[in-house]
Amino acid sequence: MMAVGRRRKDQNRSGRRYISLILFVFIIAMSFQIARVYQKDQEYAKKQEQLEQQLEAETVRQQELEAYESYTRSQQYIEDIARSKLGLAYEDEIIFKEVNNAGQ
């Protein structure tokens, strides 16, 4: 009877060891997974920050383009283009041209 009791205690100890070993391996594996997930989270946070900065820059650019679009639809734009590219002027307007006297 004593041998049977001792055998059960040995089996319980070895069973506890196996369970402890499995639990230890599981904890190590989960630690690696947690570290990997944390690293990916940091990468995603960095990428999100970059994308937010890019969005802000594009929003500013969009506002500039909208301002330029409203300028191109204005009378002032038409007059500026007529003067600079076509050399046109109003009838009562006097135009002074600069003369380079570099040769004198």
Distances (CA, A) of 31 to 17, 19, 22, 40: 21, 18, 14, 14
**Residue 97 counted as domain residue:** no
**Residue 48 counted as domain residue:** yes
Q: Are 88 and 82 in contact (CB under 8 A)?
A: yes
pTM here?
0.54
Q: Tell me the C-alpha distance between 31 and 38, whole Å.
A: 11
Q: Please write the tens of the pLDDT for every residue from 28-78.
A: 999 999 999 999 999 999 999 999 999 999 999 999 999 999 999 999 999
Q: 82 vs 58, which has greater pLDDT?
A: 58
**Residue 91 counted as domain residue:** no
**Residue 35 counted as domain residue:** yes
Q: How many domains does the chain have?
A: 1
Q: What is the mean pLDDT of residues 7-18?
A: 78
Does 2 score more than 80 pLDDT?
no
**Residue 37 counted as domain residue:** yes
The whole domain housing 38 covers 2-84
